Amino acid sequence: MAEPVALPRRWQLLLSGAPRLREATPEGRTLALIAPDAAWLALAAAPEGRDSRQVALLVWPDAGERGALNNLHQRVHRLRKASGARLVETGARFALAADLELPAEDFGALAADPEAVPGEWLAGCDFSARPALADWLDRQREARRAAWREALAAHAAAAEHGGALVLALRCAERLLALEPLSEHAHRRLMRLHHLRGDRAGAVAAFERCERLLKDELGLRPDAEPRALLATVERGRGGELAPVRPVPAALLRPPRLAGRREALAQLAAAERDGTVVLLVGDAGIGKTRLLQEHLAGRADALHVQARPGDEGLPYATLMRLLQRLDAAEAEAAPARPERLPALLRHCLAAAQRQGLSVVAVDDLHFADRASIETLLTLAGEAALHWILARRPPPHGADDPLAALIESGSTRRLLLGPLEAAELAELLQGLDLAPSQAQALAGQLLQRCGGNPLFVLETLRAAWRDGLPEGTLPVPRALAHLVELRLARLSPDALALARVAAIAAPDFDLPLAEQVLGAPALRLAGAWHELEQSQVLRGEQFAHDLIQDAVLAAIPQVIARHTHRQVAAALAGRGVAPGRVARHWRDAGEHRAAAAAFAAAAQDARAACRPREEGELLEACAQAHEAAGDDEAALQTRIRRVGALLPSAGVGAAIDEAQALVQASRGRPSAALALTALAMALFWGGRQDEAEQAAREALATPDASEEVQVRASSLLSNIEAMRGHAEAALALMQRWRTRITELADPVLRCEFHGNLATLLIRVNRSGEALPVAEQHLALARATRSATEQLAALMNLSNLHARRGDLARAVEHGREADRLATEIELTATLAWWNRASLGFFLGGLGRYAEALQLLEAAAGALATSPLQQNLALGLLARVWLTLGQGARAHRCVQGLSEAPPGALRTAQLVLRAAVAAATGQPAAPLWQEAAATGVAEDPHRIQAEVELACEAGRLDLLHELERRADAAALFPQAAEVATRTLALLADRQAAAAAAAAEHRTLQARSAHYYLPALLLRCAEAYERGGRGDAAQRCLATALDWVHRDALPQVPAPFVEGFLHRQPVNVALRAAAARRALPVTRG
Q: Write the pLDDT tens digit of every residue in 658-713.
A: 999 999 888 999 999 999 999 998 887 888 999 999 999 898 888 888 888 888 88
pLDDT of residue 991: 93
Query: Which CA distances in Å does 466 have to 244, 457, 459, 870?
Result: 12, 11, 11, 80
What is the rounded CA–CA span in Å between residue 146 and residue 124? 20
Tens-digit pLDDT profile for residues 338-372: 788 888 888 888 888 889 999 999 998 888 888 88
Tens-digit pLDDT profile for residues 467-505: 555 565 444 555 566 666 766 788 888 899 999 999 888
What is the rounded CA–CA span in Å between residue 832 and residue 850? 10
Tens-digit pLDDT profile for residues 724-766: 788 888 888 888 787 777 788 888 988 998 998 888 888 888 8
The half-sphere exposure of 57 on its side-chain side, counting CA atoms within 13 A, is 8
* Percent of the chain's residues with pLDDT above 70: 90
Lowest pLDDT segment from 786-790, 863-867, 998-1002: 863-867
Among 416-420, 801-805, 893-897, which range has the highest average pLDDT? 801-805
Of the pLDDT bands very low, low, confident and very high (cuts 50, 70, 90), residue 129 is confident
Lowest pLDDT segment from 47-51, 250-254, 318-322, 935-939: 250-254
Q: Report the run of H or E that residue 96 belongs to, with start and end.
A: strand 94-96
Among residues 844, 1007, 834, 842, which one has the least CA distance to residue 911? 1007
pLDDT exceeds 60 at position 6: no
Contacts of 1073 (CB under 8 A, 6+ apart): none
* Burial of residue 456 (number of CB atoms within 10 Å: 0-12, 13-18, 19+): buried
Tens-digit pLDDT profile for residues 804-827: 999 999 999 998 888 776 555 677
Query: Are the C-beta atoms of 744 and 780 separated by less than 8 Å?
Result: yes
Query: Which CA distances in Å does 799 have to 222, 739, 754?
Result: 87, 29, 18
Q: Which residues pair with 88 in a beta bridge?
A: 96
Query: Which CA distances in Å does 233 have to 173, 589, 996?
Result: 22, 55, 107
One-letter identity of residue 140? Q
Architecture of domain 259-407: 3-Layer(aba) Sandwich (3.40)
pLDDT exceeds 80 at position 227: no
Q: How many residues does the chain have?
A: 1079
Contacts of 448 (CB under 8 A, 6+ apart): 416
pLDDT of residue 981: 92
pLDDT exceeds 60 at position 114: no
Among residues 80, 79, 76, 100, which one has the least CA distance to residue 90? 76
- Stated pTM of the model: 0.60
Tell which wins on pLDDT, 196 or 324.
324
Domain boundaries, the chain: 11-103, 185-241, 259-407, 484-570, 959-1079
pLDDT of residue 941: 93
pLDDT of residue 919: 92
Read off the pLDDT of each residue in 915-920 and give the average, rounded to a whole number.
Answer: 90
Query: Are the C-beta atoms of 802 and 842 separated by less than 8 Å?
Result: no
pLDDT of residue 1005: 92
What is the rounded CA–CA span in Å between residue 821 and residue 816? 9
The half-sphere exposure of 262 on its side-chain side, counting CA atoms within 13 A, is 27
* Burial of residue 452 (number of CB atoms within 10 Å: 0-12, 13-18, 19+): buried
Query: Which CA distances in Å does 355 have to 75, 272, 351, 909, 939?
Result: 53, 17, 4, 55, 59
Tell which wins on pLDDT, 466 or 838.
838
What is the rounded CA–CA span in Å between residue 874 and residue 1069? 29
pLDDT of residue 7: 43
One-letter identity of residue 324? L
pLDDT of residue 484: 65
pLDDT of residue 3: 40
Contacts of 177 (CB under 8 A, 6+ apart): 491, 515, 516, 517, 518, 521
What is the rounded CA–CA span in Å between residue 214 and residue 184? 16
Q: Which residues pair with 361 in a beta bridge?
A: 304
* Percent of the chain's residues with pLDDT above 90: 30
At residue 210's C-alpha, the angle toward residues 205 and 215, to 5°, is 125
What is the rounded CA–CA span in Å between residue 327 and residue 562? 31
pLDDT of residue 237: 38
One-letter identity of residue 931? G
Query: Are the C-beta atoms of 299 and 434 separated by less than 8 Å?
Result: no
pLDDT of residue 240: 34
- Say whether 98 sits in a helix, a strand or coil: coil
What is the rounded CA–CA span in Å between residue 623 and residue 626? 5
Among residues 151, 123, 150, 149, which one has the least CA distance to residue 137? 123
